[in-house]
Amino acid sequence: MSAAEPSPAPDDQGVMLTHPDRVYWPDVGITKAGLADYYTAVWPRMAPFITDRPLALLRCPEGIGGTRFFQKNAWKGMNSHILALDDPHGDPHGHLIGIHDLGGLMGLVQGAALEIHPWGASCADLERPDQLVMDLDPGEDVGWVAVMAAAREVRARLEARGLVAFVKTSGGKGLHVVAPLEPVADWDRVKTFAHTLAQAMAADSPERFVTTVSKAKRHGRILLDYLRNQRGATSMAPYSARARATAPVSMPVAWAELDMLTGPAQFTLGNTVERLASQQADPWAGFHAARRPIAPDTP
Ligand code: ATP
Ligand code: MN
Ligand code: MN
């Protein structure tokens, strides 16, 4: 740092944000300090989904227009508020990334983590997921109405199996349907369960759904991406920013709201704080009380 440059100012959590004026989203003029302010505002809602679980990060040190890399392991020189987690089945020389508090989230901002992608399991038990995610990835020429209908169908099928489902925009192209789990079943079981559900949907509506990544087959269809449910896989955190133009966020919505959504990137860093302030209730308020087990033997 040159002598002329002002010293970095510690935020409320004592994390030094260097270059707070660095522009991360040039199209909407959002800076590193703006990202820190956003995450501070959504912290009470976001915290349970990102603390004490392994995180992968999309780091973009120069903002959305520059170099980007997906970071799954703790790195040398990372902020001291970020935790290095042991993975008993992982690289013995590497550590997973975790945070425990708002200081940790500010540490991620300091590390230019524009997207936060948690595992589906918490540190309390890395071998038993505490959520199931069905990632709905529309192919070309799939209308938004069809994506919303797919989410409702996933919900119905999850509920028929005794689970409770919540929905969020991806901030990209689709929707994510998330079922909170009691961490009883292991990864293999949860992945098989999600795969079976996706295959049943594709078998019943082959013109609407596919379960494998194949561009040709996906044309006009929705990929039911069940592979978020395997050990080490990640999916977008609720309230995470996306490193894309307009600064969209992955936004939890109420099922009753779904029909009114105009698209997967409707909510942004620019309109989320106002949305939260005007909400009667958190649409995902019941998430943690709604954990149910996946039975060991049901298909
Ligand atoms: P969209 O609505 O555009 O699909 P999405 O968040 O669902 O947005 P996908 O493209 O479906 O994103 O990707 C699914 C997941 O794959 C991401 O949420 C992320 O956790 C994971 N992922 C993304 N990039 C990488 C990467 N480089 N390496 C490993 N996993 C990644
Ligand atoms: Mn997706
Ligand atoms: Mn996907």
| Terminal C-alpha separation, the chain | 59
Query: What would the pLDDT profile of 4-15 be if each residue is shown by its tens digit?
Result: 455 566 676 788
Q: What is the pLDDT of residue 101?
A: 97
Tokens, residue 102: 């708002």
How many whole angstroms separate alpha carbon 105 and alpha carbon 195?
Answer: 33
Give helix 144-160 / helix 187-204 axis angle, nearest 10°. 120
Query: What would the pLDDT profile of 191-240 be if each residue is shown by its tens digit?
Result: 999 999 999 999 999 999 999 987 667 789 999 999 999 999 999 999 99
117 alpha carbon – ligand 1 mean position (Å):
8
Residue carrying the six token digits 């996906």: 218
103 alpha carbon – ligand 3 mean position (Å):
30
Indicate which residue's Cα is closest to atom 25 of ligand 1.
70
How remote is the C-alpha of 60 from its chain's centroid?
A: 17
Tokens, residue 83: 């935790």
Does ligand 1 lie within 6 Å of residue 174's CB atom? yes
Ranges of the chain whose pLDDT falls below 50: 1-4
How many whole angstroms separate alpha carbon 241 and alpha carbon 113?
Answer: 9
Residues 6+ apart with CB under 8 A from 279: none
Whole-model pTM above 0.90?
yes
Q: What is the pLDDT of residue 84?
A: 97
Q: What is the pLDDT of residue 86?
A: 95
Q: What is the pLDDT of residue 91?
A: 82
Does ligand 1 lie within 6 Å of residue 236's CB atom? yes
Kindly tell me the sign of the dihedral angle through the C-alpha atoms of 84, 108, 101, 250: negative
The number of residues in the chain equals 299
